[in-house]
Amino acid sequence: MSGLIGRKIGMTSIFDENGKNIPCTVIEAGPCVVTQVRTEEVDGYNALQLGFDDKAEKRTSKAEQGHFKKAGTSPMRKVVEFRDFEGEHKLGETVGVDIFIEGEYVDVSATSKGKGFQGVVKRHGFAGVGQATHGQHNRLRAPGSIGAASYPSRVFKGMRMAGRMGGEKVKIQNLRVLKVLPEKNLIVLKGCVPGHKNTYVTIEK
């Protein structure tokens, strides 16, 4: 599917034609440079590799420098491959935010905010407050039993417990495109997308 790499600018809100206040996210999407074209004959599948955001040459390995030089562009910080990209595109060509149109729906993936070590109430949505009588105290946010004793004499893998939360790749599906501003390389999406400000995001049709 066609797509772009972008950077999350932040959240705001706009009013629709009925006067309803809609929360939305502003993303700087592109311009992205075509750094590699994969074809069925050579690679076994059709795809387009796009690069976004310039990177200092001294921080780029020799192999990466050769790869970007072949495409006739400067080194890029973020490189993503999009399978079955719509339309014909050549090496070194620039793809902009105008591939999206207002009113269509897109999927956005990014790395979510890291929350650190969290308990089961925040991490997994446990109810928390249990029985408030029978002498219970200071066990309001505890996970409860995590397994039986004599059998199976162990805690099963995948048991939902406290631990590190966030910092994972998350995809939000079916976000509506509210506005496209090609002159500023901006796209406005309804709702929120994963990650903090300036996080790299991948937008797919």
Task: For the chain, give the percent of residues with pLDDT over 90.
Answer: 58
Residue 130 has pLDDT above 70, yes or no: no
* 112 assigned to some structural domain: no
Mean pLDDT, to the nearest integer, of 75-90? 87
**Residue 122's pLDDT band (cuts 50, 70, 90):** very high
For the chain, how are helix, strand and coil distributed in percent, rounded to 5? Answer: 15, 40, 45
* 137 assigned to some structural domain: yes
* 199 assigned to some structural domain: no
- pLDDT of 92 reads 84
The pTM of the whole model exceeds 0.95:
no
Could you give the CA distance from residue 30 to residue 34 in angstroms, rounded to a whole number? 11
* 60 assigned to some structural domain: no
Looking at the structure of the chain, the number of domains it has is: 1
* 149 assigned to some structural domain: yes
Domain limits at 122? 118-165
- pLDDT of 54 reads 87
Could you give the CA distance from residue 128 to residue 116 in angstroms, rounded to a whole number? 19
* 105 assigned to some structural domain: no
